[in-house]
Amino acid sequence: MSVLLDVQNVTKRFGGVVANEEVSLTVKRGEIAGLIGPNGSGKTTLFGSIAGAHAVDGGDILFEGRSIRHLRSAPIARRGLLRTYQQTRIYDDMTCTENMAISAREAQGGLLSLLRPVPRATNARAGDLLGFVGLYEKRDDRAGSLSFGQQKLLEFAMALMNEPKLLLLDEPTAGINPTLINGLIDRLRRANTELGVTLLVIEHNMRVIMNLAHRITCLAHGRVLAEGVPEEVRNDKRVLDAYLGVA
Amino acid sequence: MSRISDWYIMGAIALAGLAGPLLLPGLATQIAFLWLMVVFALTWDMLGGRMGYNSFGNIVFFGIGCYAAAVVQRDAGLPYFEALALGLLAGAVCAVLAAVVFGAAMLGIRGHYFAIGTLGLGIAAGEVAAGWDYVGAGSGMALPLYPGELGQRELFFCYSLFALAAICFLCCRAVYATRFGLALNAIRDDHDKADAMGLRTTPIKIFAWALSAFFLALSGGLAANMIGFIDPRDVAFAGATFGVWMVLMAILGGKGTLWGPVLGAFVFHVTQELFWTWLLGWQRVALGLLIVIIVVFFPQGIMGWLAERRARAEAGT
């Protein structure tokens, strides 16, 4: 499998706080990669750095072999690298279908292409994907009226609507009803296998990430602590210490 | 509102707009001002309601339209109507260019900062015009006399402004039905998310402001000719009256809705005319009170209030 995302020695500081220090990780095309670590270990900061939310202080980030370090979030998204947010972000005052329609790939075009009605095929696809995450019944509802868990699912569907090559998911199961988590894992897998989206997932729920990911990277205090297949990371003593604290 | 009732309402308004000035020739000027208010509210709502950018500086484009028309009509040496047409065109071009330049500079500013920045823009424009001899400086500019018979003038501007308001409304209606309309809403609801989803937000925002500037400049050229005289601070760059009314009418009717600004303009204009008629001397106090009532009791506007009532009625049954 070829390397899709290559993060090389990325450092990010906020004033005196070093949020990421010399972090390196790779994501291969077609896999599901996991990113874990205790609270404050710099996972979301790393997502921000990759997706262009802020400039990095050192290192380089290659997507499909080209550096995206100096790009902002919009051009990065247009290359096919999207992220979702831990605190879900959707367009509150628009309906679910509208949220989906404006997330389609063709909405990233120039002004002239925007000055056309939403194609019927796009609305149909929006309906399909809303069905995929179980929100078809809510398609005409205001997105802001959905529960937090449903908004999370909507945000996931919006990302899929964009047909990204790589999707960064920040805690997809946080706030989701535990009985629905298995269904969500299944959908993440299907997005990966059926829709061909490579995933990089931040997750606190160990059962979920150990089940889902092919490879896992663990961060602690802004550095990479361990890396490997789930079995290795789970049994790594340093990882256990980082989560539980060392006496 | 469903599509069918939409067409009925548009038809009724078109009928009233065409017949009104003929049936009530004494009110032609007031009716003309009503259409001007409709253009004000609709163009303000493009940014304020649809895109979430509250501009207090849209009056600048109106003023540019006033002055461009006046200068062209003074200097072109053409007959009245040719000069007026050329003046309107010049105003529209200047205003669109100004919107692109100001937009590139200011639309990166968010929230309250954008509102304050645009407020400064409006005030600065008035001061510049008041100090610039080429456009008459503080004494303003007089426009050429309308060539037609007595009474024709009022009818001409009444119908011109009606046509402009109608075209502006239909243009908004068409544009909001496209992906561009959705993109404006997306920027309003979560600008960072829109960026992160790869939307080209900067050109989208500039285009919206330019579209609004285009219609405002045309309305400025027509209004200046109807009033017959441009004062830099009281007519062209009248931020404290026209500039504030734009915002109020859109909020009163319901911002971000298609009919809200139109409804707001009707209610506001009629109320204001009644104040002038029945409360002379107190009309500004009454207007101030009306503004307070709008903001306190109708924060979502009449359309929002109606939608809420309907939702409550449905939940009750």
pLDDT digits (tens, 9 = 90+) for A25-58: 999 999 999 999 988 899 999 999 999 999 999 9
Residue of chain B with shortest Cα separation from A50: B196
The pLDDT tens digits for A168-214 are: 999 998 888 888 888 889 999 999 999 999 999 999 888 889 989 99
Residue B199 Cα, gap to closest chain A Cα (Å):
5
Answer whether B214 touches A (CB < 8 Å).
no
Please write the tens of the pLDDT for every residue from B149-172.
877 888 999 999 999 999 999 999
Tokens 């204001």 belong to B272
B274 touches chain A (CB under 8 A): no
pLDDT of residue B263: 93
Interface of A with B in 75-104 (CB under 8 A): 75-78, 82-83, 85, 89-94, 98, 101-103
Question: How far does A84 lie from chain B, in Å, by closest CA?
Answer: 9
Task: Give the whole-angstrom CA distance, residue B66 versus residue B53.
Answer: 24
For B258, the token pair is: 């298609």
Q: Please, which residues bridge with residue A67 across strands?
A: A62
With a cut of 80, say whether residue A123 has pLDDT above it: yes
CA gap B138, A109 in Å, rounded: 47
Place of tokens 């239909």: B170
Q: Sorting pLDDT into bands at 50, 70 and 90, what band is B241?
A: confident
pLDDT score for B2:
57
* Partner-chain contact B199 A111, CB within 8 Å: no
pLDDT at A1 over 80: no
Structure-derived torsion over alpha carbons of residues A36, A42, A48, A53, reported in degrees to the nearest 10: 170
On chain A, the residues whose CB falls within 8 A of the CB of B186 are 91, 94, 102
Q: How far is the C-alpha of B12 from the C-alpha of B22, rounded, in Å?
A: 16
Which of A178-210 are b and which e, b meaning 16 or more Cβ less than 10 Å from the residue's Cβ? eeebeebbebbeebbeeeebbbbbbbebeebbb
Query: In chain A, where are the structural domains located?
Result: 1-80+164-247, 89-163
**Model pLDDT, residue B275:** 85
Closest-CA residue in chain A for B189? A91
Hey, what are B115's tokens? 């509102």
If 0-12 CB within 10 Å is exposed, 13-18 middle and 19+ buried, where does residue A14 land? exposed
Q: Is B143 helix (H, G, I), strand (E, B) or coil?
A: coil
Longest Cα–Cα distance of chain A, Å, equals 63
Q: Pick the closest to residue B169 from B32, B43, B4 (CA basis).
A: B43
Residue of B nearest to A77 (CA): B198
Strand partners, A32: A199
Q: Which of A82, A116, A162 comes nearest B179 by C-beta?
A: A116
Between vectors from CA A137 to CA A136 and to CA A139, what angle results, nearest 5°?
A: 65
A positions 103-132 inside 8 Å of B (CB): 103, 106-111, 113-118
Q: Which of A83, A89, A101 sits opposite B190 (nearest CB)?
A: A89
Nearest to A5 by CA among A201, A144, A179, A185: A201
Half-sphere exposure of B10 (CA within 13 A, CB side): 17
CA distance B283 to B301: 22
Which CATH code for domain A1-80+164-247? 3.40.50.300
